[in-house]
Structure formats: structure tokens, C-alpha cells
């Protein structure tokens, strides 16, 4: 049987209906997000995702493109850590 779900998710991400991010284990996941370029903070304990728009790697991408003559089409940045609720042992963080 043909699995169309990954293709559908990628299509929705390509038109900014969903935002794709990598989880702490390296697997992709998707969240409903605002259009535009986003990066994410991902809690390694509960999976909370916080999107941010400031792109700290724009200069690096520009320099890499210039130095390598590589036509860079995009990049991903996921920052992994533990959210405030998990660090404090909040009961809300352990709820399903």
C-alpha cells in the first residue's frame, strides 16, 4: 500500500500550512505554524516546541554560499533543551 502521509505533510509544509521540525531523536514532526522562515526550540523531555523567527545563521549561509559557490536553498535549525515546566517538575508537564 502506498503511504501518502509523508508526501502530504511535506506538501503542507512547503506552502507554509505546517512547519516541519526535527525532534530530539532526529525524527521529523510538524506543527501548525505561521508562514515564513522559522527555527525551533524543542524540549527533549515533553516535546514542547517554540518557534522563533530571528535567524542566527543567515550570515553563515551567505558566507558558505560565497565561499563554496554552492546554491544553498534552505536550512534548518532546531535547538534542543529542557523547557521551564520540565525543569521545575511541573505537574502540567507530566500530564498526557
Q: What pLDDT does 52 receive?
A: 86
The count of other CB atoms within 10 Å of the CB of residue 18 is: 18
Q: What pLDDT does 93 receive?
A: 45
Which domains can be identified in the chain, with CATH numbers? Answer: 5-88 (3.30.1490.190)
Per-residue pLDDT tens over the stretch 27-67: 888 888 766 678 889 999 998 888 888 888 889 999 999 99
75-to-40, 56, 78 alpha-carbon distances in Å: 12, 11, 10
| CA 28/CA 26 separation, integer angstroms | 7
For 66, the grid coordinates are 560565497
The count of other CB atoms within 10 Å of the CB of residue 40 is: 22
Amino acid at each position: 500500500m502506498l503511504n501518502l502521509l509523508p508526501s502530504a505533510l511535506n506538501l503542507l509544509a512547503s506552502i507554509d500550512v505546517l512547519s516541519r521540525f526535527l525532534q530530539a531523536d532526529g525524527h521529523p514532526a510538524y506543527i501548525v505554524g505561521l508562514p515564513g522562515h522559522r527555527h525551533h526550540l524543542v524540549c527533549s523531555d515533553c516535546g514542547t516546541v517554540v518557534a522563533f523567527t530571528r535567524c542566527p545563521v543567515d550570515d553563515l549561509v551567505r558566507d558558505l554560499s560565497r565561499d563554496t559557490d554552492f546554491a544553498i536553498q534552505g536550512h534548518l535549525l532546531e535547538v534542543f533543551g529542557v523547557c521551564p515546566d520540565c525543569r521545575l517538575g511541573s505537574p502540567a508537564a507530566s500530564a498526557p
